[in-house]
Amino acid sequence: MPTSLTLNDTNTLANVDWEDILDTLAGQKCVLFLGSGAYESPDGKDIESALCSWLDASNPNHPEIRLYNPDGFFLFRKNRFKRKVIGNIKEFFNQEFKETERHFSKVAQIPFSMVFTLNFDNILARTFDQLGFEYQSDFYFKHRKAPEKFEKPNRNKPIIYNLMGNIEEPESLILTHSDFFDYLDSIFKSNSMNQDLKDELEKAERYIFLGLPYEKWYFQMLLRILSLHSDKLKEIERTALKEFEDPRLHEIYTEEFKIEFIPTNTEVFIDELFKRCSDKGILKSLPRIDIVDANLRVLPPDEIRNLIANADVAEAMRYLKVFIDQRKPRNSKISNDLVVVRNRLNLLKQRELRGTIYHQDFHVEWNQIVERLLELINQMENL
């Protein structure tokens, strides 16, 4: 049964059962859960504060947002304003998150077969894309029937599952209390998550929790919904990195959920886990995609546009990357923007394969990706 790691006053990294963690990773029985505390915004703030500032959500005269409360849920002045705010949230997550991506580049090489995130961004997925690693992507979508087709996740093709929706699918996002109660209804009816995936989650032997919102009222409910409480899975090891100012919360999570808390931060823990995986020889090898791309000749922009016109968008992206790499160092933003667009294309293709997107919606999003790709080509020409 799974085990999870957590931080408390009496434990240090030396007290962590690293041997068991490495064994469960090697046996593909270790699951990672990521929350907002595992992220660092571009300005160094915690990600929730940074998003609040980006949206100006605390402004009492905000034209769209009436309230953004400490639980991270919004109250909109009108329902139709929700889509506009989602667009602004998407712009926020499309920024460079250098420190977060640096941590996540190590996470991508650690052989987790399943990663569940409580955020709705795709920063981890685009880090996988940047490094050339394969992965599966899925996410909660209110009352959407879970994909019937199930590919068992493994270390070489793990699943990244967004528990609170995905920013590329606005209707899936849990942004309000109403969204959350719809979420509960959907989960209780066994919608949205494939039963085989739930079974894989319950077969795990260790859970690692990084940066989860223990203090939020709904988090205990979420743990129970996912069957992560001690009554169901008594022998699963649970580890997390967090200290509680409130001793009552600490007692609830240690006694009710059997979480072991370790007094360190996400960066230190990931660095140590990465080092130990490297020493044991179980890190995933980085794909040599740059060597493949280096053998491509540099196409002029018009030829790259011709590839797009012939619907060979993925190939156009490869050649645009080569074109960008030839013009360093003035192109870092365009290069990062290309990674975001490649990530959107990969997610769109996966949704098409899983049958989780309507035909007309697929073409709308495809056209948006093409339009953005053409914009990047124009920007490169104007450098």
Q: Are 207 and 2 in contact (CB under 8 A)?
A: yes
Please give the share of the chain, as a percent, with pLDDT higher than 90. 29
Every domain of the chain and the residues it spans: 3-40+97-280, 47-93, 289-381
Spatial distance between the Cα atoms of 211 and 34, rounded to a whole number of angstroms: 6
pTM (predicted TM-score): 0.79
Spatial distance between the Cα atoms of 318 and 171, rounded to a whole number of angstroms: 31
Q: What are the pLDDT digits (tens) for 320-344?
A: 888 877 765 555 678 778 877 887 8
Over 90: is that where the pLDDT of 224 sits? no
Over 70: is that where the pLDDT of 354 sits? no
Over 60: is that where the pLDDT of 4 sits? no
Please give the share of the chain, as a percent, with pLDDT higher than 70. 84
Higher pLDDT: 146 or 22? It is: 22
Superfamily of domain 3-40+97-280: TPP-binding domain (3.40.50.1220)
Q: Are 47 and 41 in contact (CB under 8 A)?
A: yes
Q: Is the peptide bond before 301 cis (omega within 30 degrees of 0)?
A: no
Q: What are the pLDDT digits (tens) for 204-221?
A: 889 999 988 888 888 888
Q: What are the pLDDT digits (tens) for 358-379?
A: 777 888 889 989 999 999 888 8
What one-character DSSP code corresponds to residue 296? S
Residues 90, 164, 25: CA angle, nearest 5 degrees: 105
Assign 175 a pLDDT band (cuts: 50, 70, 90): very high
Spatial distance between the Cα atoms of 85 and 59, rounded to a whole number of angstroms: 14
Spatial distance between the Cα atoms of 24 and 2, rounded to a whole number of angstroms: 9
